Amino acid sequence: MKNEIRKLPVIVEGLLRLLSGPINTTPMLGDTAEEYTQIRSEKGSFAANFWCLRQILKPLPSFFINYFRWSMTMLRNYLKIVFRNIRKSKGFSFINIFGLSTGIACSILIYLYVHYELSYDNFHKDPGRIFRLGKIFKANGQDASNSVWLPPPVAPAVLRDYPEVEEAVRITFDNGFARYKDKTYAEKNVIVADAGFFNIFNFTLISGNPENALDEPYTAVLTKDLAERYFEEANPMGKTLIFNEISYKITGVLAQVPEKSHLQFDLILSLKSLAESRRKRQRRSLEEQWWYHAFITYIKTQDALPSQELIDGIYNISKTYAGDQEEQLGFEQRFAIEPILDVYLNSDYNSEGYTKSGNSTYIYLFISTAIFILALACINFANLTIARSVGRIKEVGLRMVVGAKRKQLAFQFLTDAIIIALISSILAVIIVKFALPYFRLLTGQQLYLKFIEPGSVILLLCFTLFTGVISGFYPAYYLSRLQPAESIKGKTIPQMKGKVFRKSMVVFQFAVSIILIISSALVSQQINFMKDSDLGFDREQIMVIPFEGSREPITKNRLLKNELTKNSSVLSASVSSTIPGRDITSRIIRPEGIPENENQTMNILFTDPDFLETFGLEIAAGRFFSDEVMTDSSDAFILNEEAVRKFGWGYPQNAIGKEFEYARWKKGRIIGVVKDYHFSSLHSKVIPIVTQIKNDELRYISLKLNVKDIQETISYIENTWKMVLPGIPVNYFFLDNDFNAQYNYEEKVSILFDVFTYIAIIIACLGLFGLASFLAEQRKKEIGIRKAIGATVQSIICDFSKVYVRWIILANVFAWPVAWILIEHWLQNFAYRIDVGLSTFILSGLAALLIALMTVTYQSIRSGIADPVNSLRYDS
């Protein structure tokens, strides 16, 4: 043991080597080993190892100080070179910095957008413990629909049966007229909520007690803005607001509802009031009505992971409490929970536009667009740096001769890229600052840049570093590989490899641009298709006035119709329970020839005989309602073709005269079938609809106009309305706008997408321009010689452009299949969609070719018309 020779621990050796810098480490390691052996033999291995540790730790501080000092010195040199290079080649630097800053700016904007979309509903306390219930509804074993509309007994039953559920509330929506003294306004965003509403949701109450604000029947909580509208300066607490002819006591005032809430409302009524008035009317409490699908239900659990028992219990709750009814009707309703944080973007349940919802597809779309744009800018940087490296080869060679190692050179070029990225980032922030108002307008989101937060600054810095490293990586690798002797002599043998890389990068850039052009073209084609395609009804020149609040318009609808149609500009008028583009109610019915317990739910529309003419529907079989036939208003029904198919009756003619049971087993008779029309947007298939005359539940009057003077007609309509229904405000809209509003989201996205496509094209073109000017410079002599022996300007331009044409064609080859797959995927969102034709692809490819050629034309013409004398005079 005594004189045994022991090697230094490997780690110690490695660390000593690492820390000792550029000096020769052999004698030092030898000394260390010698003393180590000595100490080991005298004091044992522990003391020796401890000694080793001290050997490493002691010089650390001075090591860092030294290292830093030298790095700073070199960095200063690098910085100097970078700025010199920027100044020396302004064009290239502009392309680099402009491209990168645009790319970074786009990334920041998209980051803001995505961050906003992902942070919906996270302002509530413990959002992970809040869930929304969804309904999976089956009629006769077939999936009918997934929706958020639940029957009212679910929430109380869940709360009662499962102690792990802290709170369960129901919400439903309402609209109508609110009145205080002489002020009457239409209120659209009204919700009716259970007393526990504020136990789940953190909407801030300015005054009032969140614990019991909605405990009593006929109480209401309203937002500050709304309170100011009705009560002005006065304290609204305890005042009485009349909503749809029922008085509510104000028990709380809310701060504004955050934008990032999927629930949007101005006024909350206590659900007990609704329960009360419904009980009076129907003599049945809400808790018994298992087939009244009108309530969104939220629960808050004690834990973010609900137990399997709870999940199963909720799933089967209707079977447990209303199993006999399910069997009797042939229906099945099952319930599932989904986290509230998923409600906005990833909900599986349809809320028919009553709550805000986004689309996660677009999130992915935007993130990939941002990545692509940034990639294009990085590629520009890499390409141009390598292309220009010819000019820097001597610099590199000299550095090598003076003793720069490969690592140091690579580091220099990386620093170069990172500095450019830093400059671009600062510019990008400025660009974002100016672009943000427009971007806000486009997205309709309250986006803000928050650079006071250290988090976002660090994020941006990391991002900049990342961008710099990505774009500087290849040039650094490439340039540090050069051989000093060759570089000094100006040999450019390694150029060959660089060319392949450059070419493939340009091809990639154009492939991305072509994908973007094709996609945005097809997206707008689809949107135009949806907006212009024949819906089966006439949506032009139809004015719609909703009946809201009081029952007066319904009772006076005949008088109203008569008065309005007296004007020659109003061709016809029809009242109905709903209009195309709005939601439609459904009823349980049982068509003829179907067993007792196999009822079906069917969309039902209540209207009058003028509906056909007003909306321009076409009859497929039988006849439409008529005022002359008395029985039409009691038991006559009209189907659409889809409903006939759903009932399994085949041809429309077969349906005439058939009967079905409806509403508590009354019998109805089918007198006609109308051709299919799109009641809802083209996202979904044509729905089956049953139409009936009913002088009740009417909510809209629609006027078919033939307008010469729109102002005059509108004022006539308004005056007539005031005459027939004094005191009730008139809020009209036009059907085409209202219907097309269903595509607002797609349109917004499409515009954003277009903008980003333009940006991508510009960046790609800038890169190509830079590359072309570089190549033109390189071929100057060759072109001079060609011209000297008689080449024409045209032939040179041709020759010059040929290269690029080949590149773009190659880019097309790559881009088309990718674009096709992407767009096919997107189009699956729509039940009615365009056919993807080859023409768009060809046109987009040609457009890209044209753009590319235009970009290089300047350079090719310049080199084409250049006087060969100038390029050949000096032989340098």
Partner 1 sequence: MKELTKAEEILLLTIWRLKKDAYGVPIKQRIKDLTGKDYAYGTLYGLLEQLDKKGYVTKKAGEPTPERGGRSKTYYRLSITGIEALKYSMELHRVIWDGVSDITFDEEANR
Q: Kindly tell me which of 37 and 145 has the beta carbon lying closer to partner 1.
A: 37
**3-state class of 201 per DSSP?**
coil
Q: Are 341 and 121 in contact (CB under 8 A)?
A: yes
Shortest Cβ 122–partner 1 spacing (Å): 52
Q: Kindly tell me which of 23 and 496 has the beta carbon lying closer to partner 1.
A: 23
The residue type found at 135 is K
Q: Are 102 and 425 in contact (CB under 8 A)?
A: no
Q: Kindly tell me which of 44 and 593 has the beta carbon lying closer to partner 1.
A: 44
Shortest Cβ 36–partner 1 spacing (Å): 9
Q: Kindly tell me which of 34 and 211 has the beta carbon lying closer to partner 1.
A: 34
Q: Are 133 and 337 in contact (CB under 8 A)?
A: yes
**Among candidate residues 332, 220, 228, the one with its CA nearest the CA of residue 268:** 220
Residue recorded with tokens 């000093």: 484
Distances (CA, A) of 791 to 775, 802, 853: 19, 16, 21
Applying CB under 8 A, the residues found at the interface with partner 1 are 5, 7-8, 16, 19-21, 23-24, 26-35, 37-38, 54-56, 58-59, 62-63, 66
Q: Kindly tell me which of 2 and 450 has the beta carbon lying closer to partner 1.
A: 2
Q: Kindly tell me which of 26 and 839 has the beta carbon lying closer to partner 1.
A: 26
Q: Kindly tell me which of 36 and 149 has the beta carbon lying closer to partner 1.
A: 36
Identify the sign of the CA torsion 122, 124, 130, 134. Answer: negative
What HEC string does 443-471 produce? HCCCCCCCCCCHHHHHHHHHHHHHHHHHH
**Among candidate residues 482, 546, 655, the one with its CA nearest the CA of residue 177:** 546
Q: Kindly tell me which of 11 and 441 has the beta carbon lying closer to partner 1.
A: 11
Shortest Cβ 11–partner 1 spacing (Å): 15
**3-state class of 536 per DSSP?**
coil
Kind of pairing, strands 240-243 and 165-180? antiparallel
Shortest Cβ 23–partner 1 spacing (Å): 5
Shortest Cβ 38–partner 1 spacing (Å): 8
**Among candidate residues 311, 293, 294, 298, the one with its CA nearest the CA of residue 340:** 298
Shortest Cβ 12–partner 1 spacing (Å): 11
Shortest Cβ 69–partner 1 spacing (Å): 13
Shortest Cβ 10–partner 1 spacing (Å): 11
Shortest Cβ 74–partner 1 spacing (Å): 19
Calpha distance 512→825 (Å, rounded) = 17
The first and second tokens of residue 174, run together, are 């309402």
Shortest Cβ 49–partner 1 spacing (Å): 15
Q: Kindly tell me which of 20 and 565 has the beta carbon lying closer to partner 1.
A: 20
Q: Kindly tell me which of 16 and 671 has the beta carbon lying closer to partner 1.
A: 16
Angle at 330 between CA 324 and CA 334, to 5 degrees: 75
Distances (CA, A) of 829 to 137, 262, 361, 826, 834: 22, 22, 10, 6, 12
Shortest Cβ 67–partner 1 spacing (Å): 12
**3-state class of 693 per DSSP?**
strand
Where does 119-260 have alpha helices with state H?
154-161, 197-200, 224-231
Q: Kindly tell me which of 25 and 264 has the beta carbon lying closer to partner 1.
A: 25
**Among candidate residues 669, 634, 676, the one with its CA nearest the CA of residue 655:** 669
The residue type found at 749 is V
**3-state class of 246 per DSSP?**
strand
**3-state class of 639 per DSSP?**
strand
Calpha distance 862→784 (Å, rounded) = 12
**Among candidate residues 825, 811, 821, the one with its CA nearest the CA of residue 376:** 811
Q: For the chain, how are helix, strand and coil distributed in percent, rounded to 5?
A: 55, 15, 30
Shortest Cβ 258–partner 1 spacing (Å): 59
Q: Kindly tell me which of 30 and 727 has the beta carbon lying closer to partner 1.
A: 30
Shortest Cβ 405–partner 1 spacing (Å): 18
Shortest Cβ 52–partner 1 spacing (Å): 10
| CB within 8 Å of 434: residues ≥ 6 apart | none
The first and second tokens of residue 156, run together, are 């109380």
Q: Kindly tell me which of 19 and 836 has the beta carbon lying closer to partner 1.
A: 19
Residue recorded with tokens 């590149």: 807
Identify the sign of the CA torsion 220, 223, 225, 231. Answer: positive
Q: Kindly tell me which of 14 and 650 has the beta carbon lying closer to partner 1.
A: 14
Shortest Cβ 47–partner 1 spacing (Å): 14
**Among candidate residues 432, 368, 468, 377, the one with its CA nearest the CA of residue 78:** 468
Q: Kindly tell me which of 37 and 492 has the beta carbon lying closer to partner 1.
A: 37
